[in-house]
Each structure stands twice: as structure tokens, then as C-alpha cells.
Structure 1
């Protein structure tokens, strides 16, 4: 009896992880169909792009916005914990992937790219490369799985640390990014521009 349960559990686990991979693949194909570039137009791939105001930002594997996507994972873990209590973790991860991939597609649509250019300091923002966008989703998964294993206080402390670090280093973070996208504040835009 327990062998049958273990086999069924493994099958369910495999199903949800395959479903997550399919969501990521759909995101990649959709972005390709939207005309997004696969990698940086510079022709090479970096592990980390340290310059925020450069043509390489949002084009490589990781950048200063990667901590925001890890925090997405923390938040989506908490959200699915609250609204999907009792559901298997892989099913909750699938929901998180749907949300993250949906955001990545929206973020790389003309309406959001134009909004970033109009309301934030990202005047030259052209959207993410497909590589960067896919890695943003992968980093969300890393954050989700970290939040699953780590004590809540550690997860919250890391989220605060990431927000303070990126706020200090690049004058931007997840909180400021959302605020400036939804309700731009001219004083914050001026501060972010270093004026």
C-alpha cells in the first residue's frame, strides 16, 4: 500500500514540475513571438550585468533586479501558503510560475515598457532579453523554494536586506519599482536620477 502511495506521490510531483517547465517554455515562446531578442544585442552573455543605466541591463543572466525576482518567490510562497493551504507544494509552485510568467509577458509588452519610460528613470528601457526574462522566472523559483525551507524571520530579513541593498546601490528596488510604475512620485524620480 505505501509503495503505491509513494509511486502516486512521485507521479504527482513529476506532473507539477513538468507543468512548471511547460509554463516557462510557453513564456519563452511567447516572448519570441512578441519579437523579444534572445540574448543581449551585444552578442554575448554575462553572468551578471553590474551597470543599471546600460544597454546590458535586463539582457544578461542576472542584474541588480534579480533580488526583486527572488523576493517575488518569497511573496508567492507566502501567498500560496495562505490561499492554497493543504495543497501540495509543487501545485503552489505552479501557481507562482503562472503569476511570474504572466508578469514577465506583461512587463515586456509595449504598454509596460512605455510606462517605465514615462514614469520612471528607465528612459532607455527596451524590455528584457528572453534569457533575462526566463532567468527572472528561475530566480523566482529559487526564492519560492528558499522561503519553503527557511524560517519566516530569515526570509523576511533577507527580503529587507535585498531591498535596502539595491535601494542604496542603484536607488531602486522592488518597492520603489512598483510604486513608480503604479503611482509615480516626482521626488523619488528626481532622487533616483541622482539629480
Structure 2
């Protein structure tokens, strides 16, 4: 017996494809301008950051999925899972597009230590969206305490390793603090 795939899943795939096409039409690099694709790039202070499949910011996108699942469970749990995933995908894709506008890129460069940041490659943006899907799926199957523990662990680990993470990223985007910028720079 063949199971019918919920339209929300197809919509999620379509939104991911649309996001990639928009980014390409905006002139974003499909892959790293360095000319190769790496599964992991661990150097945050480089022009290759946010250009490959995964990096230190991938856990933040998994956390997005955990948060989106929780919020949509709270406010729209009567919607089928496929539609909730489509909503989460639309929000994540909108964020990836916003994050790759010239205004946001310049804002990041001016208020954070990300001086070599020139936007994400399309590959990285699609990978970030897939990381969100992974977080969404994990939240679906994990107990709430495990989802919270995973999010906190990712935040603590990335903050310890690179002096950045989802919370600091949002803080510096919305309310930049010189003390945080100095700390992130190693001062």
C-alpha cells in the first residue's frame, strides 16, 4: 500500500527550492567562492564561514526547528504535522532571505566581529533549512525535557567554542552591545 505524502511536506520542499532560486537571483554564490564544498567548516573568522554544508552556526538552526515545533504545537497543534512543518519552513526560509539582504549583512559586519561575513552561500542556506527540519523532527520524537536539554547544550557548547550562538546572534542583531562584541573578539 502506498501512503499519500501530506501536501505540507511538498510545500516545504517547494519553499526550500523557491528560497534557493531567490538567493541565486540575488547573486548569492551557489557554493563557496573557494571552489569546493566541505561538509564542515570550523573557522568562524574566515571568508568561508557560512559557505559550506555545516559550520558552527548549524546547531542554531537545529534549535530553530526545536523552537518552531514547540511554538506550533502550542498555538496550532490541531493542524496536521505537514502544515506545521510548512509554516516552520516558511519562517526559516524568510529568515534565510532576510539574513542575506545587503542591509542585514552590513549590520552584522558593523556590530559584530564577523568582518569577513558577506552572506551565506545558497548551499549553506539550504543546509541551514535542512538543519531546522532536523530540529523539528527531533522535537517531534524527543521528550520535551530532552529537546530543552539539547537546545541548551548546543547554546552552551557553541558559546564556549566560538563565543557565539543563537542567543548572542539575536542579541547582537537586535541590540548590539560593545561589551559583547569585545568579549567575542577575545578581549
With normalisation by structure 1, the TM-score equals 0.93
Based on CA coordinates, which of the two structures has the bigger radius of gyration? Answer: 1
1:33 and 1:104 map into 2 onto residues whose CA distance is: 14
Partner of 2:54: 62
Structure 1 segments (4+ residues) deviating >4 Å: none
2:13 and 2:77 map into 1 onto residues whose CA distance is: 23
Unaligned runs of 5+ in 1: 1-5
> How many pairs does the alignment contain?
187
Q: Report the CA distance between 1:14 and its aligned residue.
A: 3.3
| Residues 46-104 of structure 1: per-residue CA shift (max 9 Å, x gap) | 00001110111100000000000000000100111111121111110000000000000
SS in 1 for 2:6: helix
Residues 12-161 of structure 1: matches in 2 within 5 Å?
Answer: 13-161=5-153
Residues 5-16 of structure 1: matches in 2 within 5 Å?
Answer: 10-11=3-4, 13-16=5-8
Unaligned runs of 5+ in 2: none
Partner of 2:164: 172
SS in 2 for 1:53: coil
2:110 and 2:34 map into 1 onto residues whose CA distance is: 25
In 1, are the aligned partners of 2:8 and 2:84 still within 8 Å (CA)? no
With normalisation by structure 2, the TM-score equals 0.97
Partner of 1:3: none
| Residues 1-59 of structure 1: per-residue CA shift (max 9 Å, x gap) | xxxxx98xx44x43111111000000000000110000001100000001110111100
1:61 and 1:91 map into 2 onto residues whose CA distance is: 26
